[in-house]
Every structure is written in C-alpha cells, then in structure tokens.
Structure 1
Amino acid sequence: MYLISFYVPPDHLETVKNALFKKGAGKIGHYDACAWHTMGQGQFRPLAGSQPFKGEENIIEQCEEARVEMVCEDHILKTVLQELVRVHPYETPAYHAIQGVTLENL
C-alpha cells in the first residue's frame, strides 16, 4: 500500500480526486473514495520554456492549493500516478508516493 500526496488548485480538487478514485485509489477495506485534504499556500516560479497554469515566467507566484492524501494499492500505483499527471491542470504537478506498512506485511 502507498500513500499518495499531491497539491492541486481548489477549483480542480474534486475533478482530480474523482479521476483517481475511478482508477482505484482511495480504497481501504470496505470503503472507497477515501481521502484527506487541507488548504494551504503554495508558491513557484515558472522558468524559461515553461507553460504555467497560472503566473508569468521568472516571477514568483503564490496561490491557494489543496494538499490531498489518499492510499493506493501497489498493483495500481503506476496507473493512478499516470492518471494524476493526465488530469492535473499543472504542467508538472508536485506529488509523491510513500510505501506504507500494513498489518498484513509485518
């Protein structure tokens, strides 16, 4: 099992979460569509050659973002991450996947 975490603008939050749920992420036992999110302030600076969703080249942009966390089974991780990159509005979305420990693999 992995924990997937990513940042997304609030107006794309439900679209991205639902796309990942359709690929099987967010399933824990007899529950699905499980996720946690919190709002925060992100920042970035688009560099030369970028095509930013928001902002201008070489200017630091600050914006509200949601940090989303959900679980993902090992066998669908690649498919789920590919879907995240496909549906996410950012040119290069920030995400990570951390392998977790479950009682079954202790």
Structure 2
Amino acid sequence: MTTQIKYVKLEIFIPESHLPQLRQALRSVGAGQIGNYDSCLAYSRVTGSWRPLAEASPYEGTIGELCEAPELKVELRVDANRAEETLAAIRAIHPYETPEIFVIPLLG
C-alpha cells in the first residue's frame, strides 16, 4: 500500500501584530482553503522563549539575555504541492531572523 502525502500542517510562531500580514500572505498563495472556504486557520496565544547569541540580529530581546514574549501559534492545512510556495510567502512577511515554522505531513 502506497501512502500519499496530500496535505501538510503548518505551525507558525509569529507576533500577534503580524497576524493580518500573515493572513494576507496565506490568501495570496491560496493556502488555508478547505472546500468552499478560504482563510481557514486556527491560532492560540503562547509564550515564546529564546536567548539571542552574539551573532544574532533579534527582532526583540537583548543579546545574551533570556527573553520571553507573547506570540501566536498559527496552524493550518496546506496542499502538499503548494507547501514551498506557502513557506516562501510566510518568510517574506515574517519579522524574525529565523522564523519558527513546522511542516507536518498529513497522510491520507
């Protein structure tokens, strides 16, 4: 039996202030469409934690100090064949030097 990956789940960590830009970027590439609905996503408030190293150029925080800030964890389903295009659109608007984005294959 061959299992095909038709969809992937994206988990994106982003400042709440950037949610409108993220929604627009996702819509621009057709991500988050399920049947006759678009802009389908879920988000929850989380607390991010990090420590910028000497070479970092942090969006927020101070080099060498442990930082915490509120973020949103955004989750959505994307057609697997559009994942790369979607990731590029997300990275284009994401304010972090190294965005935290998880790509999880969905079997089916």
**Residue among 45, 63, 72 paired with 2:69:** 63
Tell me the TM-score normalized by structure 2: 0.90
State the distance in 1 between where 2:71 and 2:107 align: 28
Give ranges in structure 2 of 5+ residues lacking alignment. Answer: 1-6
Match of 1:78 in 2: 84
Tell me the TM-score normalized by structure 1: 0.91
Q: How far off is 1:33 after superposition?
A: 0.5
**Residue among 82, 86, 93 paired with 2:99:** 93
Match of 2:12 in 1: 6
**Residue among 5, 20, 31 paired with 1:25:** 31
Secondary structure in 2 matching 1:100? strand
Give percent identity, aligned residues only.
Answer: 30
Structure 1 range deviating more: 15-24 or 31-40: 15-24
Match of 1:52 in 2: 58
Q: How far off is 1:101 after superposition?
A: 2.5
> Per residue, is there more strand in 1 or in 2?
2
State the distance in 2 between where 1:101 and 1:32 align: 21
Aligned ranges 1:38-49 → 2 under 5 Å: 38-49=44-55
Match of 1:15 in 2: 21
